[in-house]
């Protein structure tokens, strides 16, 4: 049976889909390896959200095809859906299978065609279990932001059956997982039999599973309802609901003109009032965001407004993206800005983002935070873990804490 390696690009949804593919191939008796150089077949789960993502995908495919032991390279995912011919032209070893469900059958048939050869047996260490597990509950997007190719690659919105989500999360909880991350392309559009909204799904998870905490991967501004904010409020006894005090809400621009051009369907003032509502519900909530700099219609004043809004709102973290034209989107017809200007604006915003992140961290010093342990360094006497607010911290271990295990929940005062 052929050995395979999966390389994953892009979002948490892609990671979940790669995990599902690993499970499907394991059921066929196929062996995964820890590096492409050890594989017969390399599977590249692609991303096409930016031009840089496409460049990395092409580089990885060419690199895999040149490895001496690799006899086939499979491209799947978003870039594969949109650019089949382009990717297959990179090398004769490359096959595009945009539908991941076809990959197990393809690999089974391909493996049977391979000659039996003597191979060096690699000592492949078993991977450590991931402590915080993403669970895909939704796919697809119908918003059609002017810069985004994802709706063309992913199609219309679909949701995973609520009973299936509940069963998956309960199985993880019984296996020792403390945190799951609900993922989707447009998570707030969750709607299916058994849960007509994301909030209803959260209620079911809280009532019907033993999972300790749930995080949302990302949610659009219009989907942050009063009912969702109820999950952020501390309970009467001072404890908390299952929902982590962290929301990732894409802003993309602090200019109403640019937001309109982007087809984002909210105003700066609406976003500002949303942040105020979140902090009224729980002032400790970490709000993180995405901002695109250098959209083709972004002038100096527009960028200045974005920078000022970032300073005002004080995000716990900003993912700064330089605009990248995607063929097939409305924005691709516009003349792009000078690349040096994009680089300069991105640098300025990133510097502001770093300052804001430091301010948020300082605001939590001296407070008790709950961490899921991810790593223990006995030599340095430190523990690394992630808090409910999505702070990934390495802190000194107090007496006895080094006896813990990855996956354990601890409470530590941030020094």
Q: Model confidence over 346-402: pLDDT tens digits?
A: 999 999 999 999 999 999 988 889 999 888 888 888 888 899 999 998 888 765 566
Site of tokens 């191939």: 25
Structural domain harbouring 61: 3-113
324, 343, 363: which is the final residue of a domain?
363
pLDDT in tens, 112-125: 655 433 333 333 33
In a domain, 125, yes or no: no
| pLDDT at residue number 1 | 64
Q: How confident is the model at residue 237 (pLDDT cuts 50, 70, 90)?
A: confident
Residue 20's CATH number: 3.40.50.12160
In a domain, 219, yes or no: yes
| pLDDT at residue number 116 | 39
Cβ(46)–Cβ(57) below 8 Å: yes
Model's pTM, two decimal places? 0.84
Q: How confident is the model at residue 208 (pLDDT cuts 50, 70, 90)?
A: very high
CA distance 286 to 274: 13
In a domain, 234, yes or no: yes
Q: Is the domain of 179 the same as that of 314?
A: yes
Judging by beta carbons within 10 Å of its beta carbon (0-12, 13-18, 19+), is residue 344 exposed, middle or buried? Answer: middle
Q: Is the domain of 77 the same as that of 163?
A: no
In a domain, 100, yes or no: yes
Q: Is the domain of 142 the same as that of 76?
A: no
Q: Is the domain of 338 the same as that of 222?
A: yes
Q: Is the domain of 96 the same as that of 150?
A: no
Q: Encoding tokens for residue 348? A: 């300025």
Q: How confident is the model at residue 127 (pLDDT cuts 50, 70, 90)?
A: very low
| pLDDT at residue number 125 | 39
Cβ(257)–Cβ(221) below 8 Å: no
Count of domains forming the chain: 3
pLDDT in tens, 313-359: 999 999 999 999 988 999 999 999 999 999 999 999 999 999 999 99
In a domain, 123, yes or no: no
pLDDT in tens, 68-77: 888 899 999 9
Q: Is the domain of 221 the same as that of 327?
A: yes
Listed in sequence order, the residues at least 6 apart from 41 whose beta carbon sits closer than 8 Å to its beta carbon are 2, 3, 4, 5, 70, 71, 72, 73, 74, 107, 110
CA distance 343 to 327: 21
Site of tokens 């004080």: 314
| pLDDT at residue number 114 | 54
pLDDT in tens, 89-102: 999 899 999 888 88
Q: Is the domain of 85 the same as that of 188?
A: no
In a domain, 249, yes or no: yes
Cβ(294)–Cβ(368) below 8 Å: no
Q: Is the domain of 204 the same as that of 318?
A: yes
In a domain, 120, yes or no: no
Q: Is the domain of 274 the same as that of 304?
A: yes
| pLDDT at residue number 111 | 66
Q: Is the domain of 266 the same as that of 191?
A: yes
61, 86, 113: which is the final residue of a domain?
113
CA distance 4 to 42: 6
Q: What is the total residue count of the chain?
A: 415
Residue 303's CATH number: 3.80.30.20
| pLDDT at residue number 190 | 97
Cβ(199)–Cβ(223) below 8 Å: no
Q: Encoding tokens for residue 109? A: 């048939």
Q: Encoding tokens for residue 251? A: 């802003």
CA distance 332 to 86: 19
Q: Is the domain of 144 the same as that of 263?
A: yes
Q: Is the domain of 357 the same as that of 379?
A: no
In a domain, 80, yes or no: yes
């Amino acid at each position: 049976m052929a050995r395979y390696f999966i390389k994953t690009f892009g979002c948490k949804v892609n990671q979940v889909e790669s995990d599902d593919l690993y499970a499907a191939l394991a059921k066929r008796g196929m062996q995964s390896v820890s590096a492409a150089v050890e594989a017969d077949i390399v599977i590249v789960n692609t991303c096409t959200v930016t031009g840089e993502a496409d460049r990395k995908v092409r580089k990885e495919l060419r690199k895999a095809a040149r490895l001496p032991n690799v006899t086939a390279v499979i491209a799947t995912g978003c870039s594969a859906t949109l650019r089949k011919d382009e990717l297959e032209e990179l090398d004769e070893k490359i096959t595009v299978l945009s539908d991941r469900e076809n990959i197990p059958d393809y690999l089974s048939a391909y493996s049977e065609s391979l000659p039996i050869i003597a191979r060096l047996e690699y000592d492949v260490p078993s991977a450590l279990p991931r402590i915080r597990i993403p669970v895909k509950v939704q796919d697809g997007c119908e918003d059609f932001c002017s810069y985004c190719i994802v709706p063309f690659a992913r199609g219309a919105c679909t949701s995973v059956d609520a009973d299936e989500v509940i069963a998956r999360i309960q199985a993880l909880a019984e296996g020792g997982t403390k945190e799951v991350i609900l993922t989707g392309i447009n998570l707030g559009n969750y709607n299916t039999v058994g849960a007509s909204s994301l909030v209803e799904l959260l209620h079911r998870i809280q009532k019907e599973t033993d999972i300790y905490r749930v995080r949302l991967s990302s949610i659009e501004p219009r989907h942050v309802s009063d009912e969702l904010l109820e999950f952020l409020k501390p309970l009467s006894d001072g404890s908390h609901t299952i929902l982590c005090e962290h929301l990732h809400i894409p802003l993309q621009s602090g200019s109403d003109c640019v937001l309109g051009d982007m087809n984002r369907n909210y105003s700066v003032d609406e976003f500002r009032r949303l942040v105020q509502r979140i902090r009224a519900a729980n002032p400790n909530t970490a709000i993180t965001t995405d901002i695109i700099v250098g959209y083709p219609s972004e002038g100096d004043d527009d960028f200045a407004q974005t920078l000022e809004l970032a300073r005002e709102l004080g995000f716990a973290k900003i993912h700064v993206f330089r605009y990248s034209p995607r063929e097939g989107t409305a924005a691709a017809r516009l003349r792009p800005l000078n690349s040096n200007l994009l680089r300069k604006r991105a640098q300025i915003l990133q510097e502001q983002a770093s300052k804001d992140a430091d301010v948020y961290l300082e605001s939590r010093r001296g407070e008790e935070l709950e961490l899921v342990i991810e790593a223990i360094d006995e030599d340095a006497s430190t523990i690394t873990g992630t808090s409910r607010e999505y702070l990934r911290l390495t802190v000194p271990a107090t007496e006895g804490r080094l006896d813990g295990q990855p996956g354990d929940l601890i409470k530590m005062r941030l020094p």
